[in-house]
Chain A
Amino acid sequence: MTSKQLFPKWFNYLPIIVLVGLTLILGITIHLFWFWFSPKHLEVGYQPKQPIPFSHELHVNQVGMDCRYCHSNVEVSGHSNIPTTETCMNCHKTIKVDSPAIKTLTEYHNQKKPIDWVKVHMLPDYVYFNHAAHVNSGVSCVQCHGNVNKMTTVYQAKPLSMGWCLECHREPEKYLWPKEQVTNLDFRPDNQLKLGLQLKETYNVNPGEACSVCHR
């Protein structure tokens, strides 16, 4: 015998099922765009294989070199340079010349060819970023590049998304360090907020939030 009812009894729960389902779908969609499709998830941890296994950890942490020895333009130019092979050869003419990596380096140098380093930190073409402006305002390398001094192979540590940039542009006092500590990647002030507010005043830091600050 067929039932007189058109629909089974569980249909009474349909409104609840639909409501819960819609809430879940909405939540998942937002999460999908907000996290899974964002640089936080897609780009952080990008660690390409480099032509020469150069270790920042060895050069900075163990040898104690300053960032600016190699990236010498960072304070004066919008673009921070990758060092030429000549810079490397200043030391490696005499140091570890027998290691296979340095042999590759020497080969590049002798053929007058630049090393094909793979770029790790990439910004879209429509974003204007000036290294000098940031470094000279007390924004340390570590704020955007992470603790490179601890990296054997460089990887992207921060999302470099627009929202992430704006976090600092809106509250620079949370990130500013004294200029002389900018390349000291292990520096951590005791009271960041107090120091930051002070430095914001001294360095006259007024990062804009308007579109044209970065999209020129």
Chain B
Amino acid sequence: MNTINEQIHRVPLVLGDKSFKDVTDAIARPAEAKAPKWWVVGVLFSASVACILFAMIGYLIWDGVGVWGLNNPVGWGFAIVNFVFWVGIGHAGTLISAILFLFKQKWRTSINRFAEAMTIFAVICAGIFPGIHVGRIWLAYYLFPIPNSMAMWPNFKSALLWDVFAVSTYFTVSLLFWYVGLIPDLATFRDRAKTRVKRLAYGFFALGWSGSSRQWINYEKAYLILAAIATPLVLSVHSIVSFDFATSNLPGWHTTIFPPYFVAGAIFSGFAMVLTLLIIARKIFNLEDLVTIRHLENMNKFILATGTMVGYAYAMEFFMAWYSGNQYEAFAFVNRAFGPYAWAYWIMISCNVISPQFFWFRSLRTSIPVMFIISIFVNIGMWFERFVITVTSLHRDFLPSSWDYYTPTWVDIMTFVGSFGLFFSLFLLFLKFLPIISIAEVKGVMAIADPHHYESHTKKGGQL
């Protein structure tokens, strides 16, 4: 990344002449000040939308899956589309936190906390859908290896079961990673807290952190180990999600390109979502000096790279459909682009392949309005990608007499909308009560953290 400028000087990661205290004050302010009006309104609104989600789930359980738009060939509809969409979004967090940490990309420190929180909330939203789509939800425990009197045991040969473990492992590790990173900052909040309740709440989760050198040594070891554990998960989770499709014998699903293509798509959508949220948050909390244009530009480069990979995968699917000489494979893809769901396919292509190409230009890459709009487009496009993969492959199955057109019902749509309510409720609570930027880590990459920083201000400094 652009760590070096023309004069071979490090580009500062934190702008402005800030002291350590300024950083702590800036990040702790939202948690200490009275809740602003926009926040109260936002929480109430998103909590009401989240209630729609729970109402829809209740209705689904009460009435059965018939309330959804599923039909005979299309047995996987919105539930699976939404699941893959949310899990995909949950990929940016660990990539930024773990992989960029191992590669010592210091620019990650300003955005990792934020991205990790987003990951966890997105995986929570994702986890709801496979649970409820089983129909008889009281039998969902069949997914887990629990001893029972029926001698029922999960089928370990099934990709769907690997998925259960992949996603739950990913959630656990992401949560631990996020939490371990939070401990020193929670201790800061505890020490600054004015009321006893706050002191106890932050203190409980700060695990008695005192900031001693010994604690820091252990802490950094633990963080490194967790980063190493989390790194393979970034690649494995969405690979396994892609196996849900790729291991079945359906034209349009049964391709070997799926795992890398899904991982690229996941990182693509994850970065887009981080970008959307971060652009708003840095503006509201005046964090422009900590989350600089350079951070945003770096993320745009990721979006450009992964978006192009996704475009390559779309093209390669068509190439393989032709090159394989398999008429069913060929039909599946021609039908995708020109069949009844062509509208969804071209929305996907325009949002995912065309829109990120604007980021080749530096002026567009660094323009806040442009990147905000493109990030929204990518979010939309990546939802449609999962819709196209799931529905277009299913709606024309091997038996032409059962061909049908899938249309979601209002319950399908409100469940999806409701999941955004849950996501934003959790996110707003995070913005208010937790340090949204890692205080301890950001201090480490500031100019004044360099022991030689003050030498540059005095001529003799270097000879001491």
Find out whether the CB atom of B146 lies under 8 angstroms from the CB atom of A30. yes
Interface residue ranges of A24-50 to B (CB < 8 Å): 30, 33-34, 37-40
- Which B residues touch A40, using CB under 8 A? 149
How many Cβ-Cβ contacts under 8 Å join chain A to chain B? 36
Binary interface encoding of chain A residues 152-166 relative to chain B, with 1 for a CB under 8 A from any of its CBs, else 0? 000000010111101
Query: Are B151 and A33 touching (Cβ within 8 A)?
Result: no
Closest Cβ of chain A: how far from B71's Cβ, in Å?
Answer: 25
B148 touches which one: A6, A159, A163, A167 (CB < 8 A)? A163
- Smallest CB–CB gap between A170 and chain B, Å? 9
- Neighbour of B150 across the interface among A11, A30, A161, CB < 8 A: A161
B200 and A34 contact, CB distance less than 8 A: no
Could you list some 27 contacts between A and B, CB below 8 A?
A: A6-B190, A6-B199, A6-B200, A7-B200, A7-B203, A7-B204, A7-B208, A11-B208, A30-B146, A30-B147, A33-B147, A33-B148, A34-B147, A34-B148, A34-B149, A37-B149, A38-B148, A40-B149, A159-B149, A161-B150, A162-B149, A162-B150, A162-B152, A163-B151, A164-B149, A166-B151, A167-B151
- Pick from A6, A11, A161: contact of B149, CB below 8 A: A161
On chain A, the residues within 8 Å of B149 by CB distance are: 34, 37-40, 159, 161-164
Q: How far is the CA of A161 from the CA of B150 in the complex (A)?
A: 6
Instruction: List B residues at the A interface (Cβ < 8 Å).
Output: 146-152, 190, 199-200, 203-204, 208
CB contacts (< 8 Å) of B190 on chain A: these are 6
B264 to chain A minimum Cβ distance, whole angstroms, is 38
By a CB distance below 8 angstroms, the chain B residues around A161 are 149-150
Whether B152 and A6, one on each chain, are in contact in the complex, defined by CB atoms closer than 8 angstroms, is no
Interface set of A (CB-CB < 8 Å, partner B): 6-7, 11, 30, 33-34, 37-40, 159, 161-164, 166-167
User: Chain B nearest CB: distance from A22 CB in Å?
Assistant: 14
How far is B204's CA from A7's CA once the two chains are assembled, in angstroms? 8
Q: Considering the chains assembled together, what is the distance between the CA atoms of A80 and B15 in angstroms?
A: 86
The distance in angstroms between the C-alpha atoms of A33 and B142, with both chains bound, is 13
| Contacts beyond the supplied A33-B146, A163-B148: 6 A-B pairs with Cβ under 8 Å | A7-B204, A11-B208, A30-B147, A162-B152, A163-B151, A164-B149
CA distance A154 to B146 in the complex (A): 33
B-chain residues with CB within 8 Å of residue A159 when the two chains form the complex = 149
| Measured CA separation A162–B146 after assembly (Å) | 15
Residue numbers in A under 8 Å from B208 (CB-CB): 7, 11
Q: Which of B148, B190, B199 has the largest count of A CB atoms less than 10 A from its CB? A: B148
Min CB gap A138→B, angstroms:
23
Query: In the assembled complex, which residues on chain B have CB atoms less than 8 Å from the CB atom of A167?
Result: 151
Q: Smallest CB-CB separation from A166: which chain B residue?
A: B151
Residues of A within 8 A of B146 (CB): 30, 33
Q: Tell me which residues across on chain A come within 8 A of B152, comparing CB atoms.
A: 162
**How far does the Cβ of B196 sit from chain A's closest Cβ, in whole Å?**
9
Contact of B151 among A6, A7, A39, A162 (CB under 8 A): A162
B375 to chain A, nearest CB (A): 40
The answer to whether B203 touches A163, judged by C-beta atoms less than 8 angstroms apart, is: no
Q: How far is the CA of A186 from the CA of B107 in the complex (A)?
A: 80
Chain A neighbourhood of B203, CB < 8 A: 6-7
How far is B205's CA from A7's CA once the two chains are assembled, in angstroms? 12
A70 to chain B, nearest CB (A): 31
Q: How close is B9's CB to chain A, nearest CB, in angstroms? A: 45
Nearest neighbor of A209 in chain B, beta-carbon distance: B151
Return the chain B residue nearest A33 by Cβ: B148
